[in-house]
Amino acid sequence: MNAERAQQIYESADTIAVELEGESVWIENVDEANGMATVQVGPKPINTKTVSVDRLKETR
């Protein structure tokens, strides 16, 4: 995924499935300039990671 698409998903009113290495995540923030995203992993809001957007995969 690229940073622009990650930002579109983040801003979308729709729920769009995203995975990080096979695990479902929720995008919480996107740093387009640096190609990074902060994601929530699993159901706990405190379980977050900051990763390169190219590690994220949109699932359908």
What is the domain-level CATH number for residue 42? 2.30.30
Number of domains the chain is built from: 1
- Domain boundaries, position 18: 3-58
Q: In degrees to the nearest 10, what's the CA dihedral of 53, 50, 20, 14?
A: -70
Measured in whole angstroms, how far is the alpha carbon of residue 31 from the centre of its chain? 11
pTM: 0.88
List the beta strands (DSSP E) in 4-47.
18-20, 23-31, 36-41
Q: What's the rounded Cα separation, in Å, for the pair 17 and 49?
A: 17
User: Per residue in 1-59, pLDDT tens?
Assistant: 999 999 999 999 999 999 999 999 999 999 999 999 999 998 888 999 999 999 999 99
pLDDT at residue 45, rounded to an integer = 83
Q: What pLDDT was estimated at residue 44?
A: 83
pLDDT score, position 35: 97
